[in-house]
Amino acid sequence: MRGVEGMPEFSVSLKSITQIRLQYAPTRFQPFRYVCRMSDSRRECAAFQNEHFSGFASFEDRSGSYRELVLALIRRRAALGPGCRYLGGTSLANWLLQSSIMMGSLVILAAALFYFWSSAGWMTVVKLVIIGWMLPIGFRWVVKNKPGEFDPSAVPDHLLPRVDV
């Protein structure tokens, strides 16, 4: 693999890759961001995503080329033989921690709304709108990032961005 135009070149030998992890990794400004991380026997050696920075809070969607690149990378690495793990989602510890925090936050929010509704007033409505906007992204993260391994000949669709044809 080679670097991006304008950036210093680097190379990663496909044979040296021991792990490929596909993740759904949304942010506030990138709600449909996906990341492919590659590791060798020592550390993460490369990562790339489906969106490209084009200005403050603005990202260019490159899901079509990202999807093709990831599938080609996985096929070519699998053709080299065993020695690589194909992982989907995040680590089990991270997934459990993030899911627990999200569910605990919802319980605390529900209790606070129940007990303090009369004193909270309109500020509660503003917070509910913000939470309501981010909640679907949080639930999508929990579902798509459930840890697991996948067969390189059948990459699950939920680990790659949708591309409209």
Give 53-112 as a DSSP string: EEETTEEEE-HHHHHHHHHHHHHHHHHT-SS-EEEESS-HHHHHHHHHHHHHHHHHHHHH
Residue range 40-93, pLDDT digits in tens: 988 888 889 998 888 888 888 899 999 999 999 999 999 999 999 999 999 999
Q: What is the pTM of this model?
A: 0.75
Whether 89 contacts 76, CB under 8 Å? no
Rounded Cα–Cα distance for residues 104 and 87 (Å) = 27
Report the pLDDT value the prediction gives residue 34, as an integer from 0 to 100: 93
Domain residue extents for the chain: 1-89+148-165, 90-146
CA within 13 Å, CB half, 127: 12
Residue range 92-110, pLDDT digits in tens: 999 999 999 988 888 887 7
Residue range 3-14, pLDDT digits in tens: 455 656 667 788
